[in-house]
Every structure is written in structure tokens, then in C-alpha cells.
Amino acid sequence: MDKLRNLPFKVLFYLGFFIVIIFLGLSYWQLSSHYIDSNNLEKLTKYEYILEVSISDVNSLSEYQYIQIDTDISLLHTWLLRSRVHNGQNGYNRIDLISDSYSNYMVVNRGWVPLDFDLDSIDKYEQFKYIGKLMSYNTQTIGQDDIPQSDYLFRIDKSFIENDINISLQKYYLTLTEECGNSIECINLTDPYDAPHLSYAFQWLFFAICLTIVILRKNKLI
């Protein structure tokens, strides 16, 4: 206790260890994110048996489930999701709003299209097989807001689409993995972006250790 009372750099000691705790918390957060991403990646890239469902069944399913919609589908509307890159080329993702004969609505990410894609060229009566993975919607964060009544989106935001079209959507949207359509590149879900959470976890841990050593040496405790 005498050593603590006679510390030459008390502010550094107490403030420094407070920052060390923050660094350790950040390290733990990044490590937890790494394990969550690894678990999600395993589910995302795992293709078990395909489940044939109707749109109304989607709310009872889980994220990343591999499904085929087996009911007659109508294409109601299409948006272009901005800032998508495929093989080094800029473009969009084609986002469709579909429904069945019972007015159950669902959003479908059909895949990548080039910048010169013409929305007027879409044949709304063309029949497709809707096969793919269920995905969670994006949420509004810092950045560009989506514009009502626009043909373009910055994110697949459930609340925005529901308010813009005045409908109720299923809790997941569908990303097609095959038979995406003419001149449309299916999204490769087996090669998603892998965030460097593990390296960040070690980085924050390293900062915590270094700062701890500085605090102890400055106060002549080691």
C-alpha cells in the first residue's frame, strides 16, 4: 500500500490502467467477433439439402438456410444496389421484390449486373427458379440515406423498403446462388469478405501489454 501511495506518476498509473482495461475489452470484442464470423461463415458456405418452401414459410426458418421457393411468383419491382464490384468491374446488385398469389412479399438479391444495366429491359413475366440462401437485412448506419421512390439502394434495409412500398416483408431476404438470370452473375457466397478480427484482437492485446509495462516502469514497480 505504501508503494501505491508514493507513486511518482499517480495519474499515469490510474489513468493508464483504465486505458489498459479498455484495450483488453476491445481485444475481447474483436476475438468474439472473430468466432461469430467463423461460425456464420461455416453456415454460409455449407450447402446441405435444399428445402422447398413457400414465401410464407420463411419467417419460421433460420438465417443461411438453403431453400427453393416452390410457389408461383410475381415480380413486382426492381432496384439496383449501388457500389458492387465483380471481378474488378463496378456495377450493381439487382434487388427484386417478389410476391405470391397470397400477397406474401419477399426481397431477392438476384446477383451482379454491370453499370449499363437497363431496368426497362426486365421481363416481369419471365419465370425463374428461386434457389439460394436466406440472409439478414442490412441496418441503417452512418452514410448515405436511401431515397424513397428511387430505383437505387445503398443497402437492403427492411424498414426502408416496407415504408417505401407500404408492404410487410419476411424477416430474411433471399440471395440467389444459381440460375440467377441472363447477363446476371450469381453472388459467390463461398468466397465472402473475411474481416481481420483475429489480428485486431492481438493488436489490442499487444497495446495493453506495452502500456502496462510503461506504467509499471515509470512508477518503478518493475
At 67-109, the pLDDT tens digits run: 999 878 899 999 999 877 666 778 899 999 999 989 999 999 9
Average pLDDT over residues 24-38: 85
Comparing CA positions, the residue from 83, 92, 67 lying closest to residue 177 is 67
Q: Rounded to two decimals, what is the model's pTM?
A: 0.70
- Contact (Cβ atoms closer than 8 angstroms) between residue 67 and residue 132: yes
14 Cα distance to chain centroid: 39
DSSP of 178-205: S---TT-BPP-TTS-----HHHHHHHHH
* CB neighbourhood size of 86 (10 A): 16
Does residue 1 have a pLDDT over 60?
A: no
